[in-house]
Structure 1
Amino acid sequence: MSHIETRLAELGVTLPDAPAPAANYVPFVVVGNLVHVSGQISQNAGGLIKGKLGADLDVPAGAEAAKSCAISLLAQVKKACGGDMSRLVRAVKLVGFVNSTADFTDQPKVINGASDFLVAALGDAGRHARSAVSAASLPLGVAVEIEGIFEIRP
């Protein structure tokens, strides 16, 4: 077990199987030492985490939805690394989309759910560049979708 998986266990997180793509795309592409992970939607063992921030969900619920996306991102990275999480060097960049009302302005606080989780799981290697933007709607009505770029060892 890698130190990352040990840390995840300490946080009470078990990575699920990497979610399969829902349309005509691949879940990740490895280019050199970078893994580009397709957008991961908010979901957990109970199903999709749906809703609109500023109407149906508050910031803490949105942050939990974003954390679920980060867990799925790491599951995809694990698959890209052939199951060997010790190959993960760092998180490079996240782009977070928040299903929110026109007057909702706390998208960064929502995406902090993913950012804070990655730092908790990866330490300084979890610090990353980031964008957090609003979306009028997201696929299947989910609350959050996040894509990411990660550095890996060969």
Structure 2
Amino acid sequence: MERMLATPADAEIILKLYQLRTEPLMREARAFMTGEFWPNTPEEFFAVAQNPADPHNAFFRQVVTYWEMAAAMVLHGAVSAELFVDCNAEGFFLLAKFSPILEPIREKMPTFLNKTSELVNRFTAASARYEGVLKNVEARRQRLQPGQEWQVR
């Protein structure tokens, strides 16, 4: 497959995606999803993901749907895959973070991070980025101190 150069329109989309990520509520949601929420079991995951009464459920939904929307833009050709992968890692981080429990998650939520997974499967650059992120996530998980793991509230 011939590598296509990104266009100015691609760059505008990437910049808009970045701008959306910097809104205060989105920053708070992203901080929760990337820093605080480290479920070790499907039960811990679903206690937030499928519980509208949990105060973090909205953060979960906001971040996951944001990254799935962004991945869908790439998959449908609205933005260059290479530019997107070069400029974004967080969607891949989420996929890597939940990878140890992804199968049981998808038993209840079959479309969970499907677009991000499709990016990894379709584009060599996305696959390489994911593999690098996966190694970092695994190292971070090992560094978590006892008591720092996610606790169901």
TM-score (norm 2): 0.32
Of Structure 1 and Structure 2, the greater strand share is in 1
Relative contact order (alpha carbons < 8 A, sep ≥ 6): 1 or 2 greater? 1
